[in-house]
Amino acid sequence: MKFKRRLQADEEGIPITNLVDVLFLLIVFFMMSTVLSFDRGYGVKLPQSSAAGAISNKGVGVTIARDGKVYVDGNETPLDRLGDAVKSRQRTEGNNVILKSDRETRFQAIADVMDRLLAVGIGDLSLPVVERSAER
């Protein structure tokens, strides 16, 4: 009795199922570990202080650029509509307002923004600074 031998065709190519799993995990890792900064494009350099403390990044970000333009969470906002814009963002972002300004910004521009915020009843302001290096 003679049996026919069946030959199975070998799968050609590289099995990539495991590679896709690893690639997916790497993508998720890099997405979760990436820190997003919305105010890098404005060229804002925060002032330095030797007593810089930790300030929460949760809240509405108000940025004053060197030229005096005001941004609320990345959107340019005229000074007369600043209070309304911040109030509407506080509903979703929380009550804290993080007021960032360039170290070259005129103090009058910062005072004008603070006046507008205080006029609409916003009193929870954070003023972040960069810790001064020990070299000085």
* Domain residue ranges in the chain: 40-131
Q: Residue 110: which of 77, 69, 73, 74 has the closest Cα?
A: 69
> What pTM did the predictor assign?
0.56
Choice between 93 and 9, residue whose per-residue pLDDT is larger: 93
| Residue reference for tokens 């105010």 | 39
Listed in sequence order, the DSSP H helices in the chain are 17-33, 82-93, 107-119
pLDDT in tens, 99-131: 888 878 888 888 899 888 888 888 778 877 666
pLDDT of residue 26: 92
CA pair distance 82, 49, nearest whole angstrom: 28
Amino acid at 64: I
pLDDT in tens, 57-82: 678 888 888 888 899 888 888 988 98
The CATH topology of domain 40-131 is: Nucleotidyltransferase; domain 5 (3.30.420)
Question: Per-residue pLDDT for 33 more than 50?
Answer: yes
Question: Per-residue pLDDT for 36 more than 50?
Answer: yes
CB 123 within 8 A of CB 90: no
Phi first, then psi, for residue 98 (nearest 5°) are -100, 110
